[in-house]
């Protein structure tokens, strides 16, 4: 079911003590909200974050996972390992994983299927690069990212998918897509899903926007009808900024 979500992707930031301190501050300041609030610390701090937030409504999610069940994949983490420590949601397809770790649509399709097979929720990220937008190819790039990784799924899988549109040119750059650009792409994504599957699935999927969301622009972006929340990077590392963004939804 479509819901409002604010998720903080901490990326490769915050050591153990800093993670504990930031989680304490965020949970202490968390306002009453109907939105789902998620945080994603690094792998080494996930288990302690789950324990620390045991009595909180904040959900701890993972930034990545491997598609294999187990085995000789040095440095990797499986779905079962995440589930075992109480993590039920995983971010897949982040542009940094695509750009720096060679994650292709084909690999991502395997990861998505592996997570769904374990009844996990997938937060699937996609988005065009600046050159794609400049050449007016942003819609076709996004369509093919979605098609290649997600359109082979059964219709029933969509209740376990959250989408996050993150134009690469807006990530960590201070350059935000305008609320109109976000709305335009989110509406396009919903239409594309309605065509490939059906209107109910399209209407029910939550589509988050990510890319330089901050307290000063969150409210306007979140006010758009097809924007269901945000995937927040840099601003999620500062408790007051993250809380202000949660309040904006």
Ligand X SMILES: O=C[C@H](O)COP(=O)(O)O
Where in the sequence numbering do the catalytic residues fall? 94, 166
* Interaction of residue 167 with ligand X, rule CB under 6 A: no
Show the DSSP H helices in 12-128 as ranges.
Answer: 16-29, 46-52, 79-84, 95-100, 105-117
Which residues are part of a known binding site for substrate?
A: 9-11, 172, 212, 233-234
Q: Which two tokens stand for residue 145?
A: 């990212």
* Interaction of residue 211 with ligand X, rule CB under 6 A: yes
* Interaction of residue 9 with ligand X, rule CB under 6 A: yes
What's the closest the beta carbon of residue 42 comes to ligand X, in angstroms? 13
Q: Exactly one of 233, 243, 244, 245 binds ligand X (CB under 6 A); which one?
A: 233
53-112 residues near ligand X, rule: CB under 6 A: 94
With CB under 6 A as the rule, give the number of residues binding ligand X.
14
Counting every residue written for the chain, the total comes to: 249
Q: Which of 220, 221, 218, 133 is nearest to 169 (CA)?
A: 133
* Interaction of residue 248 with ligand X, rule CB under 6 A: no
- How many helices (H) and strands (E) the chain has is answered by 11, 8
Within a 10 A sphere around the Cβ of 57, how many other Cβ atoms?
A: 12
What's the closest the beta carbon of residue 174 comes to ligand X, in angstroms? 8
What's the closest the beta carbon of residue 231 comes to ligand X, in angstroms? 5
Whichever of 165 and 197 has its CB closer to ligand X, that residue is 165
* Interaction of residue 143 with ligand X, rule CB under 6 A: no
What's the closest the beta carbon of residue 189 comes to ligand X, in angstroms? 17
* Interaction of residue 171 with ligand X, rule CB under 6 A: yes
Question: Which listed range, 64-72, 111-119, 181-189, 230-238, lies at the site for ligand X (CB under 6 A)?
Answer: 230-238
Q: Exactly one of 41, 167, 229, 234 binds ligand X (CB under 6 A); which one?
A: 234
**Residue 38 in 3-state DSSP?**
strand
Burial of 123 (0-12, 13-18, 19+ CB in 10 A): buried
Whichever of 79 and 245 has its CB closer to ligand X, that residue is 245
Measuring CA to CA, how many Å separate 142 from each of 46, 139, 182, 205? 30, 5, 13, 16
**How far from the centroid of its chain's Cα atoms is residue 230's Cα?**
8
* Interaction of residue 181 with ligand X, rule CB under 6 A: no
Q: Which of 191, 218, 116 is nearest to 159 (CA)?
A: 116
Per CB under 6 A, residues contacting ligand X are 9, 94, 166, 171-172, 210-213, 231-235
């Amino acid at each position: 079911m479509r819901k409002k979500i604010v998720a903080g992707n901490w990326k490769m930031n915050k050591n153990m003590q800093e993670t504990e301190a930031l989680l304490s501050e965020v949970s202490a300041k968390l306002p009453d909200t109907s939105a789902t609030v998620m945080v994603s610390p690094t792998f080494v701090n996930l288990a302690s974050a789950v324990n620390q937030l045991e009595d909180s409504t904040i959900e701890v999610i993972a930034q990545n996972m491997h598609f294999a069940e187990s085995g000789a994949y040095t440095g990797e983490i499986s779905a079962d390992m995440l589930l075992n420590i109480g993590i039920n949601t995983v971010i897949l397809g982040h542009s940094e994983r695509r750009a720096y770790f060679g994650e292709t649509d084909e690999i991502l399709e395997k990861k998505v299927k592996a997570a769904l097979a374990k009844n996990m929720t997938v937060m699937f990220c996609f988005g065009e690069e600046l050159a794609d937008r400049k050449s007016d190819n942003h819609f076709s790039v996004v369509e093919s990212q979605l098609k290649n990784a997600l359109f082979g799924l059964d219709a029933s899988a969509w209740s376990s998918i959250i989408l996050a549109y993150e134009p690469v040119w807006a990530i960590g750059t201070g350059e935000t897509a305008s609320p109109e650009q976000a709305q335009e792409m989110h509406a396009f994504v919903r239409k594309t899903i309605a065509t490939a599957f059906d209107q109910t699935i399209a209407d029910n999927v939550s589509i988050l926007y990510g890319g330089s969301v901050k307290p000063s622009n969150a409210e306007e972006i979140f006010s758009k009808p097809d924007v269901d929340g945000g995937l927040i990077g840099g601003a999620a590392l500062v408790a007051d900024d993250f809380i202000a963004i949660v309040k904006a939804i």
